[in-house]
Structure 1
Amino acid sequence: MSSSPTPVSPSRASISKAATRNDGNGPRKSTSSVPFIPRAAPPHLRKRGGGKIVMTGSGSRFRPHPGGSAYSTSKLALWMLTQTLAMELQDANFSVNELIPGPVKTAMTGFGETQFPTGEWIKDPEDVVPLAMFLATRPLVGPTAQSFSLMRRAR
């Protein structure tokens, strides 16, 4: 029976370096940096015999909205990256899944003041933690290349 690997966190420096590019105008975070972030963890996790990568997706990849073209496109690209990395890392005991939290109230998002479809569950950050922990604690042979959603609406 496989056991879960010991948690390990890559250094902030390695993630920061992987998440930024210098285009001559200083560092910038962009959609093009997304593939580098999950690639920073596997070298550290391989030493532990495998690991979990949980990508934060969005229902916006299903439902475009005016003014959201860059965001929706980046989340759709993240879903393809999730599936591709899952295939590339599966033999090394990794699982890569997407968690779609749906709308979450945070200072950054300003949710709670935004209108959503009737019946939508506007979550507090703590409401997302159980699903994230579920994904992070599955056995090494657990689900991979899957999308798990807390949205309360049809796609």
Structure 2
Amino acid sequence: MAGTPLHPVDVLLLLTSGKRVLLGLRAGTGYADGQWNLPSGKLELGEDAIDAVVRESREEIGIALDGGEVRAVATVQHRGRSGLVRLGLAFAAEHDPGRHGEPFNAEPHKCARIGWFPRTRLPAETFPSSAACVRAYLDDSRFVRSG
């Protein structure tokens, strides 16, 4: 019998503004540097997924989301080059500057810059699991594989 699998769980935010989505350009981490990524992070031990996406949004892009504003839109299974499988829970929220504040690069040691992009024309350098989440959101797919 194989050992118990340990799959990291990520939470990802599709922060939209009309037909645009916010992405951050990874830098200085040694993982996916030079690629655009949705604001995201790992679910911490014992943490609720909605609390995690609210926390990651505050930590990465400095916005104040309320857990009641985000809705689950997709699950992505990403297999990296190493073969490790990660599960990502993607949530969406429409940006409201009055309630959330303006997004900014709150982690310049991990992110070179942030930017808004058309949801249907992501940069070529978008990380595969982030691109898969956006496609799933647009196609109203609940589960998608990446990598």
TM above 0.5, one fold?
Answer: no
| Structure of higher RCO (CA pairs closer than 8 Å, 6+ residues apart) | 2
State the TM bucket, normalised to the shorter chain: under 0.3
Structure with the largest fraction of helix: 1
Structure with the largest fraction of strand: 2
TM-score, reference length from structure 2: 0.26
TM-score, reference length from structure 1: 0.25
